[in-house]
Structure 1
Amino acid sequence: MFARVRERFAQLRSAQVTDGAACEVLARVREEIQQELAPVRFTAQAIDQLCAGVKRQVEQVRVAECRIQQIAVDRCGMPRERFVELFSGHETDPDWATARTTASREFWVEPGRCHYGEQGWRRRSAHTSRTCALSRQKIRRGDAVFKPAERPAPSNAAAMISAEMLCDLIAD
């Protein structure tokens, strides 16, 4: 029985919701899982333990979402409304952070010097050694970085953000 449920669950995870037909497939697979598990009975103690486990996982997800928002809004200067707009619907998408870090639009806030709000940045290789604008860690020539891509060149044209550091921040 559990092997069949595992197989159905794998089908559920791999299904892509792109149109009405995919939604029907998902509904059918969910129904099959429910039918397989219908004869299983849990004790009150087992249900309490399962609920406590789900509550812990939900709390872990909330902490991770808050951390992602903190990085995007507080450290990268993304407007909160824009973060909510971009992140909503992608909470369980492990590729969201990668997609955002490789996007052509990034956010840049440098208090006391410049404030660009939304500024175009591109992923490139560092042509010179510099310091990461966010972490202040050393960037060596050839490292993957994000650099401003605006024309005419802005006053922060030489700034770089380490691509590795940005991906690590978002992954935390």
Structure 2
Amino acid sequence: MTDDSTPPRPATARSWLREHSELGVCVLLLVLGVLVLTDALTMSVDITQRGPVGPKTVPVAVGIGLLAVAVLLAVDVLRGGRGEAEAGEDVDLDEPADRRTVALLTGVFLAFAVLIGPLGFPVSGALLFWGSAYALGSRHHDRDPLIAAGLSLLTYFVFDNLLGVPLPGGPLMGVL
């Protein structure tokens, strides 16, 4: 006669961390709260304060709120609370992340950040819109660049002329 009851394996540090992975969010909130509070409390205010609410009030409140949420979430996680898994409608949660798309989008955004200075917003914005569409799966090579250029010019003129938010025009704005 064999005994099928095997003793439970001792929990390793790695399995404990995997079961309590939400503690990473707690640490992030705690660090962010300390940074906000430190910055708020060391802020030098040159203007005279009128009334009970000064320029330090909101950052201090946000910092205290971040610390409180970090502590409350840590207590909940350590007591066995778990975040609810996302139940996406059209997302297969068992599939791995699409690293190619993430890498392409990251490259497009970094290229935009580098090119906006020398080329201006209209050109770099068009590359951003076209590159994002390509990374997300659009394969209309004749239509996408035209739509991207139109969106970029429209965005530039709305922000620069209508809203008064200056964007770098680049060399093409001297021609137009």
**TM-score bucket (shorter structure):** under 0.3
- Structure ranking higher in strand proportion: 1
TM-score (norm 1): 0.28
- Structure ranking higher in helix proportion: 2
